[in-house]
Structure 1
Amino acid sequence: MKPVPRPHDLLWGFIPEQLPTTAPQWAFAAVASGEPVVVRRAEGKPGVVAVGIRGHGREERFGTWMALDRIVRSLSPEQLVSAIKSYPADLPALKALIWAKPCLDATGLVWGVTGSAGFQLATGIRTLHADSDLDLLMRAPAPLSRSQALALLNKLDKAPCRLDIQLETPQGGIALREWAQSSHRVLLKRASGACLVTDPWHLVEIAA
């Protein structure tokens, strides 16, 4: 049995015929060129997964659905870490990725590359630019204290560019930067929608 795709996984096998007729033309072009789609958070029907299609600009993003039986290949954010060594670090985000790797490895948590950097590592298509942030994901199956989050963030903030790190808990995703702050509640991103919570590992108190 194939593993169930998770948010931020890249999937290949999507074809133009799966797009609704109302999709923008750039989305048809991206799919026709064989580019992967990225798994997004959304509740769907059995047999399909919510995905997003990237265009050339930040404003070109289109959400749709992909049949699970159409997937021919997938890459998770953590699988992209192995591509770091072979990729030229010619931009701040890529330099930051190499710089941050020892620190991230030292946490003992599984981590990976998402966003534009992940897409570029996976496809070779140049999606990063000189001002790009570096998007990362850290899998945190067990609670990470706020003091641990702050200590890690203080180290990573010395990177050559801004790092946008998401902690993936069993309940959903939260921003490491937000969890490291003193705010009582944090925004938890789930398939059912975003909500404010006091403990993103145990949903005892959920605020509207």
Structure 2
Amino acid sequence: MVNTFLAHDLLWGMTSEQLPAAAPGWVIESLNAGQPVVVRRALSAPGQVAVGVRGSLREQRYATAMSVDGIQRRVKPEDLCHVSIDRDLPALRALTQLRAMLDACGWVWGIGGSAGFELASGVEALHQRSDLDLILRTPQPLGREQAQELVKIFDTAACRVDMQLQTPRGAIALREWAGPSPRVLLKNAVEACLVLDPWNPQEQAA
């Protein structure tokens, strides 16, 4: 069951009683306020899912695990593509700029990071300098030239846009895949390793 949850999914239902005794006070406050936790790319015990708790400050991130039985609601990044909130911030303006192109790109896309958290929960997480973090589901290979074209479009947006390509073997950064290096860093629940082809787990750098 744990494998049905993907990195960047938001989950509701975790309580402070599930936290280790040494958890910081701000973590308890976040959960007591009913905020969601975000699924992490990490291994977890049976019946558990690896999650992270967000605080109000950028450095407030806490890694823990949540009981699958306690999950009350799940929101995936792709569920947020057409959610809107009435705040005038660069990340939200960038999302408005890019939405039609992303809808037409032929891939399933979604919103992660602070923007996804705020769109899903209503908790203000974005500020004037926030990046826009996007997710692209790429079960089939996305060519480097196409990646480069996406980066060019993103660089015209109202703020910095970072996109993760979610391959069947893990995630890579779009900007890295669009870059000159033949090897890119592939991250999954087990490891982070340099690969030549993120869609072919056998083709790894020596």
TM-score bracket, normalised by the shorter chain, equals over 0.9
Report the Cα offset of residue 123 of structure 1. 1.2
Q: Which amino acid aligns with 1:68?
A: V
Match of 1:176 among 174, 177, 183: 174
RMSD: 1.4
Once the two structures are superposed, what CA deviation does each residue of 1:107-142 show, in whole Å capped at 9, x if it has no partner?
Answer: 110001100000110111111010110001000010
Partner of 2:82, secondary structure, is helix
Counterpart residue number, 1:109: 107
- 1:32 pairs with 2:21: no
The residue aligned with 1:60 is 60
For residues 105 and 3 of structure 1, the distance between their equivalents in structure 2, rounded to whole angstroms, comes to: 27
Distance 2:97 2:11 in 1: 28
Matched position secondary structure for 1:83 = coil
2:125 to 117, 121, 127: 127
Unaligned runs of at least 5 residues, structure 1: none
Q: 1:162, CA displacement in angstroms?
A: 0.4
| CA distance in 1 between partners of 2:160 and 2:5 (Å) | 28
**1:82 alignment counterpart:** 82
Partner of 1:157: 155
The one-letter code matched in structure 2 to 1:204 is: Q
Q: Which residue number in structure 2 is paired with residue 9 of structure 1?
A: 9
1:19-64 C-alpha deviation (Å, 9 max, x unpaired): 0001111001101111000000111111110000000111100000
State the alpha-carbon separation in 1 of the partners of residues 205 and 179 from structure 2. 18
C-alpha distance in structure 1 between counterparts of 2:81 and 2:3, whole Å: 19
Equivalent residues of 1:167, 1:174 under 8 A apart: yes
- Is the aligned partner of 1:141 residue 2:121? no
What is the TM-score with the length of structure 2 in the denominator? 0.96
Give the C-alpha shift of residue 205 in structure 1: 2.5
**Residues paired across the two proteins, number:** 206
Q: Please list every run of at least 4 consecutive aligned residues from structure 1 whose deviation after the TM superposition is greater than 6 angstroms.
A: none
Specify whether residues 95 and 144 from structure 1 end up closer, same or farther in structure 2 by C-alpha distance, changes over 3 A only: same
Q: Residues 52-84 of structure 1: CA distance to partner in whole angstroms, max 9, x if unpaired?
A: 000011110000001111100000000011213
Provide the rounded CA distance (Å) in 2 between the counterparts of 1:5 and 1:204: 25
Alpha-carbon distance change, 91 to 188 in structure 1, aligned in 2, over 3 angstroms: same
The answer to whether the Cα contact below 8 Å between 1:157 and 1:163 also exists between their aligned partners in 2 is yes
TM-score by length of 1: 0.95
Q: Sort the Cα spacing of 1:2 and 1:51 in 2 relative to 1 into closer, same or farther, 3 A.
A: closer
Give the conservation status (yes or no) of the 8 Å contact 2:2–2:47: no
CA distance in 1 between partners of 2:42 and 2:3 (Å): 18
Give the structure 2 partner of residue 41 of structure 1: 41
For the residue of structure 2 that corresponds to 1:29, the secondary structure is helix
Match of 1:18 in 2: 18
**Aligned counterparts of 1:207 and 1:65: Cα–Cα separation in 2:** 32
Task: Give the distance between the partners of 1:14 and 1:195, measured in 2 at CA.
Answer: 31
Q: Please report how far the alpha carbon of residue 194 of structure 1 lies from its aligned counterpart in structure 2 after TM superposition.
A: 1.0
Distance 1:197 1:110 in 2: 23
Contact 1:173 1:190 in 2 (8 A): yes
CA distance in 1, matches of 2:3, 2:185: 27
Contact 1:89 1:95 in 2 (8 A): no
